[in-house]
Amino acid sequence: MVTGELKRKIDALWETFWTGGLTNPLTVIEQITYLMFIHDLDSLDDTKAKEAVMLDVPYTSIFGADRRQYKWSVFRDLPAAEMFDTVQKGVFPFLKTLGSSPEGAYSKYMDDAIFMIPTPQKLSQIVDQMDALYASGLAAPDIRGDVYEYLLSKLSTAGTNGQFRTPRHIIRMMVELLAPGPDEIVCDPACGTSGFLVAVGEYLKEKYREEIFYDPARLAHYNTSMFTGYDMDRTMLRIGAMNMMTHGVEDPSIQYRDSLSDQNEDTDKYTLLLLLTRFVKLSGQSSKVLIY
């Protein structure tokens, strides 16, 4: 739960976006998502470089000598105008080249990323505020998950660009009633922010930690093939994917698809379906349905 100083810092960051003219909550969360990705990419690259030295194996930085200025730790120290130019004309186009890179775990959701921070001064202020959040522990999975949930709570429960966010306590109740197991194959055909998928993942962590996280096959399933989400809003896809990743699912399948289309050929693929209006467990004779 986000409280105290951490909450104050997040609210200050939100206000900075707001006073810069970015008043759509989805847009703000999307821009924060991009910045988190950029920061994490720098940290991941440094970690892999250190591991390569320790293991005495070769490692080629994804930034390279000609892209070093795209690292968060480098451009954050530039003058505001130069930082703005570097991020707008260098960093964001660079992100779109990472789709085939194994280091770019989030990059498939960044291919149409648009930089919307309006001025150099606002970017400099936002970068400083993001650094303060990371200094407060934002890199830790538990804290990041809480922070992201708090950001998502700023979405109106109903009506923001037609999006409807199911209350978290309702989601949690539904998951607990259906008691998913460690071998589920889960789909939310209208995933939005991935709240249902996150709730299943958190439930499994609580109830089946050893069965999943000490079993390589099940852990691989949890990180890659257990969770599928569909949506028709690319902004929501990015937010939903990051929400899953911040809750410890490394590579969820969050995809653009019209789940109601006749061209959707998904049949008998999932053991668990989660919807905005119902939650169905497909398990032979013991199927359960909850409608609210």
Tokens 């930082």, located at residue: 83
Tokens 């999943």, located at residue: 212
Crossing angle between the packed helical segments 234-246 and 25-55, to the nearest 10 degrees = 50
**Six token digits for residue 194:** 């991935």
Q: What is the pTM of this model?
A: 0.71
**Of 204, 195, 192, 188, the residue nearest 238 (C-alpha):** 192
In this structure, what are the phi and psi dihedrals at residue 194, rounded to the nearest 5 degrees? 70, 30
In the chain, what is the greatest distance between 2 CA atoms, to the nearest angstrom?
65
User: DSSP code of 57?
Assistant: -
Which residues are CB-neighbours of 148 under 8 A, at least 6 positions away? 242, 243, 246, 247
Query: How do the pLDDT tens digits run along the chain, 292 residues long?
Result: 788 899 999 999 999 999 999 988 888 988 998 898 889 889 888 888 898 888 888 888 889 888 999 999 999 999 999 999 999 999 998 887 775 444 444 556 667 778 999 999 999 999 999 999 999 888 876 787 778 778 888 875 444 444 556 777 788 888 998 899 999 999 998 888 788 999 999 999 999 999 999 999 999 999 889 999 988 887 778 888 878 877 778 788 888 888 877 777 787 889 988 875 544 455 444 444 333 3
Find the radius of gyration of the CA atoms of the chain: 20
**Of 134, 88, 137, 94, the residue nearest 115 (C-alpha):** 88
